[in-house]
Structure 1
Amino acid sequence: MGTDIDGVIESRSPDGRWQFTADLLDFQPPRDYVAWECLFGVRGAGDVERPLFAGRGLPDGVSDPVRETGLGDFQHSHTYATWAEVAAVDWDAPLAHGPAWNWAVRAQPDGDELVRVTPGLRGAAADTFGSDLLLAPPEWPPGADVRLDGAVYRPVVLTARMLAPPDEGCWAQVWIAMRDLAARYGDEDVRLVVWFG
């Protein structure tokens, strides 16, 4: 059984009350555990040590739709981010202290590609470095490459831009909507509130 995301964009009115502005589901977010781990610390493969907006709970003064649909026996992992926080993200900063266990970079003639580490790649690393164990990228010697089926693989330290690009897909649309609302209400007065179920 999978996990789904739900949420809203809220804005703060001049009287200080948070109001519903947009439904996150209108942006049609896919079931993307990779992006969710990066952004909110939910699901994923465990390679993200520092998700961007994880574990904050519900903010104060949520709008009626959040109280009506975001609270219940099956909703969990509530968190939020203001536009000011999203705008300040360094999308190229490392999300962990070292290389990912479940991801590698495959060198391509037209640019590198982020790929999942397979048992075959771990086996090729063991063959390359003389081990009888399947070796994940953090176990490869520093600066080492692994060749498999004519491609070259390298360890990678993950960034938010790799896992949840801010200028692609539904999250780009969410950020644009928040930015546009912030131009009217203020950077601290627009926030995304999400939860999972």
Structure 2
Amino acid sequence: MGTDIHGYVECRAWGPGLAPGESAWQSAISLSVLGTTRDYPAFDCLFGVRSWGRWEPIAADRGLPADAAARTVAELESWGGAAFGVTWLGWDEVLAIDWDEPALPRATDIARYRRLPDQRLELVHRSVWSRGFARASGVDTLTTDPGRISELWDEGTEWHVGNTVFRAERARRRDAVPPPAGGDGNHKDGDSSWEPVWSVMRTLAGVHGEQHVRLVVWFDE
């Protein structure tokens, strides 16, 4: 059984039934339309759902906004007791995320890289605890708990075996959730299922303002 995400991008704008100049939160588009899929690293990093204790989540367990759009409320209520982890995240908060913030120290992993002919390192696996690493480091990976990596080695410690490089390192937020395209030099349009969400929020913020766009989500298993 897996965990799925549901919800809406909302924006604060004029709508039917409001007087001229008035505004209220409106359900702009459903995550189902945007093709948002199961993404456990992102669920953990952003919302603290399916957490392995690797991140300090950005927006965990905030509940449903008191002024949530009627359509959002109705959709959430249709899930009944199956829905959990209800929370929300503002576009202004997305823009303020430090995408280079590392995971918590206990989440240190051993990454495996391949050294290319031009001496650049190409990531092969984000996290390994293999016989190959055992031979390179001298540690018994069968009896040593990988949860102790941060106790055993400083972040950045490396082991070199031919063109293979093992490195003790922590993931950055950008590794769990690719940031909005155009927000940094390391991300391109279409790199993740989150880019459609970021793109819609960015567009709405350009019309209604950064503080008037948010993502309201919940989960089910």
- TM-score class, shorter: 0.7 to 0.9
SS in 2 for 1:194: strand
**Which has more radius of gyration?**
2
- Structure 1 position 120, deviation (Å): 4.0
Asked whether the 8 Å contact 1:122–1:134 carries over to 2, the reply is: no
> Structure 1 residue 63 and structure 2 residue 69: aligned?
yes
- Percentage identity across aligned positions? 33
Partner residue of 2:150? 138
| Among candidates 79, 82, 85, match of residue 74 of structure 1 | 82
Partner residue of 2:41? 34
Partner residue of 2:126? 115
Asked whether the 8 Å contact 1:5–1:195 carries over to 2, the reply is: yes
Distance 2:161 2:151 in 1: 17
Distance 2:145 2:163 in 1: 19
Partner residue of 1:10? 10
Distance 1:30 1:121 in 2: 33
Of stretches 147-156 and 104-113 in structure 1, the one that deviates more from structure 2 is: 147-156
Q: Residues 150-189 of structure 1: matches in 2 within 5 Å?
A: 151-166=164-179, 167=181, 168-189=191-212
Unaligned runs of 5+ in 1: none
- Structure 1 position 39, deviation (Å): 1.3
> Structure 1 residue 45 and structure 2 residue 68: aligned?
no
TM-score after normalising by structure 2: 0.76
The letter for the 2-side match of 1:70 is: L
The letter for the 1-side match of 2:10 is: E
Distance 2:114 2:209 in 1: 43
Distance 1:80 1:87 in 2: 15
Corresponding pairs, count: 193
Runs (4 or more) in structure 1 with deviation over 6 Å come to none
Partner residue of 1:24? 31
The letter for the 2-side match of 1:57 is: G
Asked whether the 8 Å contact 2:133–2:166 carries over to 1, the reply is: no
TM-score after normalising by structure 1: 0.85
Asked whether the 8 Å contact 2:11–2:213 carries over to 1, the reply is: yes
Partner residue of 1:94? 102
Q: Per-residue displacement from partner, 1:150-172 (whole Å, max 9, x unpaired)?
A: 63221222221011111421212
Report the CA distance shift for 1:124/1:147 in structure 2 as closer, same or farther (over 3 A): farther
Asked whether the 8 Å contact 2:134–2:140 carries over to 1, the reply is: no
Report the CA distance shift for 1:54/1:112 in structure 2 as closer, same or farther (over 3 A): farther
- Structure 1 position 124, deviation (Å): 4.8
Asked whether the 8 Å contact 1:41–1:54 carries over to 2, the reply is: yes
Unaligned runs of 5+ in 2: 15-21, 182-190
Report the CA distance shift for 1:139/1:21 in structure 2 as closer, same or farther (over 3 A): same
